[in-house]
Amino acid sequence: MISNNIKIPQIISFIMSGIAAAISSALIASPGLVYKNFLLKSEIQDLKSPALPLIYYQQIYVLCILFLFLLVILKYKGQSRRAVSILFILLLCAPKVFGPFLQIIYQRKLALNGAVYLAAYSSMTSAITLCTFLFTLTADVLFFISAGRYGISRSVPDCSEENIQQSL
């Protein structure tokens, strides 16, 4: 049985990441709200479609990883908890490590469409980062707390009298 000091931080981490993804989705669904603060009216009219920032895809990826780790915490009965914990830590850190390289590639692709798309992408990324950084930071810290506690916890063997009698 997994203790509450592992489950509760992971559940709160998942909720905080979900809130960040919901805020990002709301900002992307209403690009006019973001663009009017960063772009000129003539530039907004030149845009044919909103530029989806890479940070949005990273937040959805992190939300999926946190959900999978929550399922593992609740359902996994195996002995190699440390390896599972390290695997999920690496999966969560992957977008943060490879993100800058993907940003460069994605921005070059957008720059080919024109400076307006690059400005729209930058403004949307800035707005999402500004509105969600507290939620994502809190979710990451709570995930690392939960993963660390899960990695060092051990499954407690059944020490009932019947089990001891059977082992003798």
* Domain residue limits at 29: 4-153
Q: Are 62 and 92 in contact (CB under 8 A)?
A: yes
33 within domain boundaries:
yes
Six token digits for residue 32: 């006019």
Structural domain contains residue 166: no
In a structure prediction context, what are the per-residue pLDDT tens digits for the chain, which is 168 residues long? 678 888 899 999 999 999 999 999 998 888 877 877 777 777 777 676 667 888 889 999 999 999 999 999 888 877 888 889 999 999 999 998 998 899 899 888 888 888 888 888 888 888 899 999 999 999 999 999 999 988 887 655 545 556 556 656
Q: How far is CA 76 from the centre of its chain?
A: 21
- What is the length of the chain? 168
Domain count, the chain: 1
| Residue 3 buriedness (CB in 10 A; 0-12 / 13-18 / 19+) | exposed
**Residue 22 lies inside a defined structural domain of this protein:** yes
Residue 144, in any domain of the structure? yes
Is residue 159 in some structural domain?
Answer: no
- The predicted pLDDT at position 168 comes to 60
According to DSSP H, which parts of the chain are helical?
4-29, 31-38, 41-46, 54-75, 81-113, 115-152, 161-167
User: Is the residue at 93 inside a domain?
Assistant: yes
Distance separating alpha carbons of residues 111 and 113, to the nearest angstrom:
5
* Residue 166 confidence (pLDDT): 64
